[in-house]
Amino acid sequence: MRIIAGKYRGRLLTTADDLTVRPTTDRAKQTIFDILSARIEFDGIRVLDLFAGSGSLGLEALSRGASAVTFVEKAKRSLVLAERNIKNLGCESESTLYQADVFWYLKNTKQSYDLAFADPPYKLEMIETIPERVFESSVLKENGYLVMEHSKETVAELNPSHYEITRKPFGQTVVLILKKLAKH
């Protein structure tokens, strides 16, 4: 896995060498960032990377100009990978790591972000509630985006009158890009 664009372009990232962690493919990451680049300016934004794993999505955002990324990951092994990738890129000053349950973090943080990534384990209970929980938590600033990956078997029912919704399938994965509409 590598950084696709920006100041760290081409740099390799360390990932788990087994199948317990499912990193975002380069193809999916390229599509996600192509869509986002048409909607937001990355320079200076604050990013939240939930279920961060190796940190690939947050680090891609840093490479493209984000000023700060907060990585939240419960699994110590994954957090070690993210920390290693952050050190290898030399972006420690722009990165904050929390070993915490994502739902606990959403309830307890006072921080707000322009963009949030959520790449949960596909077998996570109540995975379909993540968008609602993120938007209800107020971690996203007004006009902030949530990018979430889930299995194509997961049904994420979203009210189109509440969200601007973009869905992109990639094999077994579906990428959701959401923005809460102003009236909700």
List the chain domain ranges: 26-180
Containing H/E element for 173? strand 173-180
- Do residues 147 and 2 make contact, with C-beta atoms less than 8 angstroms apart? no
Question: What is the mean pLDDT of the segment spanning 5-19?
Answer: 85
- Do residues 136 and 164 make contact, with C-beta atoms less than 8 angstroms apart? no
Question: Which residues are bridge partners to 140 per DSSP?
Answer: 113
Structure tokens at 3: 């950084």
How far apart are the C-alpha atoms of 81 and 55, rounded to whole Å?
8
CA-based nearest residue to 140, from 94, 169, 177, 96? 177
pTM: 0.93
Task: Provide the mean pLDDT of the chain.
Answer: 90
CA-based nearest residue to 133, from 48, 57, 29? 48
In CATH terms, 26-180 corresponds, of 3.30.70.1290, 3.40.50.150, 3.50.50.60, 3.40.1160.10, to: 3.40.50.150
Give the distance, in angstroms, between the CA of residue 153 and the centroid of all CA atoms in the same chain: 20
- Do residues 89 and 60 make contact, with C-beta atoms less than 8 angstroms apart? no
Question: In this model, does residue 33 exceed pLDDT 70?
Answer: yes
Could you report how far apart the first and last alpha carbons of the chain are, in Å?
38
Question: What is the mean pLDDT of the segment spanning 51-66?
Answer: 96
Question: In this model, does residue 62 exceed pLDDT 90?
Answer: yes
